[in-house]
């Protein structure tokens, strides 16, 4: 059955142009590392999926299955996966990490390495897996990963020499914007018999990720940040050579081969012994977020039409200008000194004696949307942000500092 085509945008996206976001009320929205606002094309895709279901109910169900396969192919292309079959659609980053953590074929005493300062979504699921399967988990410091010294990788190698099954890391650290050296980390992990599991939500869609080139074994990501989709959906990836290391502990009714036959082919097909699919999409065990996946495909098509590398370069120009202006005002930048360790996030510590909570409140009142995770002032612009927004932020900061 032909998959429904999503509505085309009225105008093509352009770097620095927010015309596809006419409802966005913030004069300056640099908060894509938190939640991205929805563009008109994304809202139109949601409307199309809802209208089809409103008009035809279950009749729309099979049509939108085809849309998911189209989305799977786009996601595989985004992250450099070898095949769409290596991608599963999920309910988001936490759901994806939890599924991967609980489906690995652990042995008692296996060790997990994480990092202190990670977002909890990439720590808690591994902790729960450790508690469930009698594993151990240690957190390493992130020091020495963004300064070009190599000390972070040396610390990781020392830990790997003691025996590790999984290294769990975010592609980009949420509070500082530190971009982790995934290729170097995977090379070390593989040398010592470990897997590299990546939380991709602060990278995918704006900071390039190539799972094959960088040797990523497992990845989970959500849609509502740099992907610019809606909350409540995402995707996961497993390198095909590691599929056999997964046990179907998180399987559901639709994880079976031919799992829909009993609904459409008459009597005698309702069985519970059909094998679980030996593809990563066995994680798609039940009802799907049709509306969310329609939104994600529409958002992804905009980003891919611009090119992730081009988006990344555009954002770096914004952050260069913003960082220079804020450092001149006494802020301490947490941006990596090594350009290879930079992402689309700029985090700073305010000048001595400046209350970051009060500063954030003042910026919000001035029409600048940003966040303060773990006490850092964080700016996260994306492709719709323009260079003219940087002076507006600096003016708002100047006014806030005079209060």
pLDDT band of residue 1 (cuts 50, 70, 90) is low
CATH code for 308-401? 3.90.1150.10
Residue 62 has pLDDT above 90, yes or no: no
Give the tens place of pLDDT for each residue, 209-266. Answer: 999 999 999 999 999 999 999 999 999 999 999 999 999 999 999 999 998 899 989 9
Give residue 187's pLDDT. 98
Residue 105 has pLDDT above 70, yes or no: yes
Mean pLDDT of 360-373: 98
List the chain domain ranges. 64-303, 308-401
**Taken in order 240, 217, 340, 317, is the CA torsion positive or negative?**
positive
Residues 6+ positions from 206 with CB-CB distance below 8 Å: 32, 226, 303, 308, 311, 312, 315, 343, 344, 382, 383
Which of the four CATH numbers 3.40.50.970, 3.50.50.60, 3.40.640.10, 3.20.20.10 does domain 64-303 have?
3.40.640.10
What is the Cα–Cα distance from 50 to 357, expressed in whole angstroms?
Answer: 40
Residue-by-residue DSSP string for 82-143: S-GGGEEEES-HHHHHHHHHHHB---TT-EEEEETT--GGGTHHHHHHHHHHT-EEEEE--T
- Whether residue 266 contacts residue 39, with contact meaning beta carbons closer than 8 Å, is answered with no
The predicted model scores a pTM of 0.96
Residue 63 has pLDDT above 90, yes or no: no
Q: In terms of residues, how long is the chain?
A: 403
Q: Work out the burial of residue 174: count CB atoms within 10 Å of its CB; fewer than 13 is exposed, 13-18 middle, 19 or more buried.
A: buried
Residue 65 has pLDDT above 90, yes or no: no
Give residue 254's pLDDT. 92
Give the tens place of pLDDT for each residue, 113-162. Answer: 999 999 999 999 999 999 999 999 999 999 999 999 999 999 999 999 99
Give residue 4's pLDDT. 87
Give the tens place of pLDDT for each residue, 172-197. Answer: 999 999 999 999 999 999 999 999 99
What is the Cα–Cα distance from 20 to 389, expressed in whole angstroms?
Answer: 17
Residue 100 has pLDDT above 80, yes or no: yes
Q: How high is the mean pLDDT of the chain?
A: 96
């Amino acid at each position: 059955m032909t998959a429904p085509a999503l509505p085309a945008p009225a105008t093509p996206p352009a770097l620095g142009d927010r015309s596809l976001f006419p409802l966005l009320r913030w004069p300056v929205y640099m908060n894509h590392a938190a939640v991205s606002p929805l563009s008109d094309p994304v809202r139109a895709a949601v409307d199309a999926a809802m209208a089809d279901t409103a008009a035809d109910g279950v009749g729309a169900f099979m049509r939108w299955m085809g849309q998911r396969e189209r989305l799977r192919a786009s996601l595989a292309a985004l992250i450099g996966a070898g095949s769409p079959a290596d991608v599963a659609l999920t309910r988001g980053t936490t759901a994806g990490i939890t599924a991967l953590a609980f489906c690995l074929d652990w042995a008692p005493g296996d060790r997990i390495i994480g990092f202190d300062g990670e977002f909890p979504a990439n720590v808690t699921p591994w902790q729960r897996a450790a508690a469930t399967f009698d594993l151990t988990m240690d957190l390493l410091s992130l020091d020495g990963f963004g300064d070009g010294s190599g000390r972070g990788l040396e610390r990781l190698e020392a830990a790997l020499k003691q025996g590790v099954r999984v290294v769990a890391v975010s592609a980009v650290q949420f509070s500082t914007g530190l971009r982790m050296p995934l290729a170097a980390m995977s090379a070390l992990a593989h040398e010592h018999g470990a897997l590299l599991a990546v939380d991709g939500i602060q990278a995918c869609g704006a900071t390039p990720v190539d799972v094959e080139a960088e040797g990523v074994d497992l990845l989970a990501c959500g849609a509502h940040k740099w992907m610019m989709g809606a909350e409540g959906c995402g995707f996961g990836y497993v390198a095909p050579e590691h599929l056999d290391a997964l046990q179907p502990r998180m399987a559901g009714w639709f994880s079976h081969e031919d799992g829909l036959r009993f609904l459409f082919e008459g009597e005698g097909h309702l069985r519970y012994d059909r094998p679980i699919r030996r593809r990563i999409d066995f994680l798609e065990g039940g009802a799907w977020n049709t509306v969310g996946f329609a939104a994600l495909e529409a958002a992804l098509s905009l980003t891919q039409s611009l090119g992730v590398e081009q988006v990344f370069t555009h954002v770096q120009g914004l952050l260069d200008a913003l960082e220079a202006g804020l450092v001149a005002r006494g802020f301490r930048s947490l941006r990596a000194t090594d350009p290879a360790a930079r992402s689309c996030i700029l985090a700073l510590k305010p000048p001595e004696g400046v209350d970051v909570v009060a500063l954030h409140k003042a910026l919000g009142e001035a029409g600048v949307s940003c966040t303060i995770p773990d006490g850092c002032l964080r700016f996260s612009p994306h492709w719709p942000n323009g260079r003219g927004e940087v002076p507006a932020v600096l003016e708002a900061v100047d006014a806030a500092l005079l209060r």
